[in-house]
Amino acid sequence: MKTLLTVAAFFVVSAASAQSVNRISSAHKLVRNNTRAEIIIPDIAGYQSLKGDFHLHTIFSDGSVMPADRVAEAWTNGLDVIAITDHIEYRPNKDFVLGDHNRSYEMAKKSAQDMGILLVKASELTTDKPKGGHINALFVTDSNPLERAKDSPDLTTAVDEAVRQGAYLLWNHPGWAIDSCIMFPLNEKWIKEGKIKGVEVFNETDYYPRAATWVKEMKITPFANTDAHGMKSDFYRADVYPPFNIVLARERTLEGVREAMFAGRVIAVFDGQAVATPELLKALFEACVEFKHITGDNYEVTNISDIPFDISSKQLSCKLMPRTTMRFKAKGSFAAEITNLHIDENSNLQVTIL
């Protein structure tokens, strides 16, 4: 009898166990958790090529994303450094999301440390365009003093406080809202005074060619930022790299990023285009594109990066796609224009090939 009971109990337990594992998971091949999509850019001219986005919003201003989610998004998208730049003046969620102007940075800091993402402390100064427009203050020490008195006529007091803190000032989307790039007197004044150091030539989905000319003529640094308010994956197509910057840093630290920005070693990249000084664009091209002599007048050209290069010349005219090798024929060296590497709104990088 005991034997029969034991056998019966065995079958009951076995049946229960079978039911509990009647499940086949495909999570390992369907879920993207803990998977990083690297942006392949080689180190350039002896510097580390750090990829960054320096214009991002969270629920602490007019975004819909938690600060820690911005960090996880950056890691997933292959970035090395970001700045959360919540508006000082515009906080539509303030009745529901409590905290001062430093709170989004404080909430994201631990996640950034755990994921190895460099997190720049920053805020966005916000007003009408003639009164200063939108300016990111990067590398601030305390965002709270950036808040202006309600009767302030423009951004002057906030800009001066950011400069006092040693911040890097970046003029955002100069062509936004009015659909034209206009150099307003205050922005020109702050550039000439050395307060504004950079300008967005790419923002979200827009390119501002006139801003590229300001980069050349006024000796300021170009930037490409998403200005993301929601998750980037909900906005950009999966096969599109959102705007990002290549920061040529001596070391992978916040101080290394800061030093590179103040030195102007930034290449703005978006939609298969890049803007920078001729020297940096040439260094980018030479680091990413390799030429190999096969035999006679037969050559190969290889792009080892994730940036395409539009090469235009009589001997070689092609779009050299990312991580691609092409064959071509040439009789000695020749001049070429790289038409997607912009020096200003009217000129592109000129190189000698072979």
Nearest Cα neighbor of 353 from 307, 305, 321, 320 is 320
Give the mean model confidence (pLDDT) for residues 17-39: 77
17 by Cβ neighbours in 10 Å (0-12 / 13-18 / 19+) ranks as exposed
User: 309 and 237 in one domain?
Assistant: no
Nearest Cα neighbor of 210 from 243, 171, 264, 252 is 171
Q: How far apart are the C-alpha atoms of 204 and 150, rounded to whole Å? A: 29
Q: Is residue 20 domain-resident? A: no
In terms of pLDDT, which residue wins out, 27 or 335?
A: 335
Last residue of a domain, one of 214, 243, 276: 276
User: 138 and 45 in one domain?
Assistant: yes
Q: How far apart are the C-alpha atoms of 35 and 40, rounded to whole Å? A: 15
User: What average pLDDT does the structure give for the chain?
Assistant: 93
User: 305 and 257 in one domain?
Assistant: no
pLDDT of residue 126: 95
User: 183 and 156 in one domain?
Assistant: yes
Q: How confident is the model at residue 14 (pLDDT cuts 50, 70, 90)?
A: low
Domain hosting residue 148, numbered range: 34-276
Give the mean model confidence (pLDDT) for residues 172-198: 93
Over 60: is that where the pLDDT of 50 sits? Answer: yes
Which residues, in sequence order, are bridge partners of residue 83? 120
User: 312 and 265 in one domain?
Assistant: no
pLDDT of residue 19: 59
pLDDT of residue 228: 98
Over 90: is that where the pLDDT of 98 sits? Answer: no
Nearest Cα neighbor of 271 from 242, 292, 231, 310 is 242
Last residue of a domain, one of 257, 276, 295: 276
User: 295 and 207 in one domain?
Assistant: no
The pLDDT > 90 percentage for the chain reads 84
Q: What is the CATH number of the domain that holds 260?
A: 3.20.20.140
User: 88 and 188 in one domain?
Assistant: yes
User: 288 and 240 in one domain?
Assistant: no
Give the mean model confidence (pLDDT) for residues 109-131: 97
Over 80: is that where the pLDDT of 7 sits? Answer: no
Q: Is residue 326 domain-resident? A: yes
By residue count, the chain amounts to 354
Q: Is residue 235 domain-resident? A: yes
The pLDDT > 70 percentage for the chain reads 93
User: 319 and 288 in one domain?
Assistant: yes
Q: Is residue 173 domain-resident? A: yes
Over 60: is that where the pLDDT of 223 sits? Answer: yes
Q: Per residue in 21-37, is it b (16+ CB within 10 Å) or e — as a string?
A: eeeeeeeeeeeeeeeee
pLDDT of residue 32: 66
Q: pLDDT by residue (tens digit) across 133-151?
A: 999 999 999 999 999 988 8
Q: How far apart are the C-alpha atoms of 26 and 7, rounded to whole Å? A: 35
Over 60: is that where the pLDDT of 11 sits? Answer: no
Domains contained in the chain, number: 2
Q: Is residue 8 domain-resident? A: no
User: 169 and 93 in one domain?
Assistant: yes
User: 315 and 196 in one domain?
Assistant: no
Q: pLDDT by residue (tens digit) across 272-283?
A: 999 999 999 999
Q: Is residue 9 domain-resident? A: no
Last residue of a domain, one of 276, 291, 316: 276
Report which secondary-structure segment, H or E, holds 15: helix 2-20
Over 60: is that where the pLDDT of 4 sits? Answer: no
Nearest Cα neighbor of 109 from 82, 145, 89 is 82
Q: Retrieve residue 130's tokens.
A: 């003639």
Q: Retrieve residue 294's tokens.
A: 């096969």
Q: How confident is the model at residue 22 (pLDDT cuts 50, 70, 90)?
A: confident
Contact 128, 135 (CB under 8 A): no
User: 202 and 118 in one domain?
Assistant: yes
Q: Is residue 178 domain-resident? A: yes
Q: How far apart are the C-alpha atoms of 340 and 209, rounded to whole Å? A: 12
Query: What pTM did the predictor assign?
Result: 0.91
Q: Is residue 257 domain-resident? A: yes
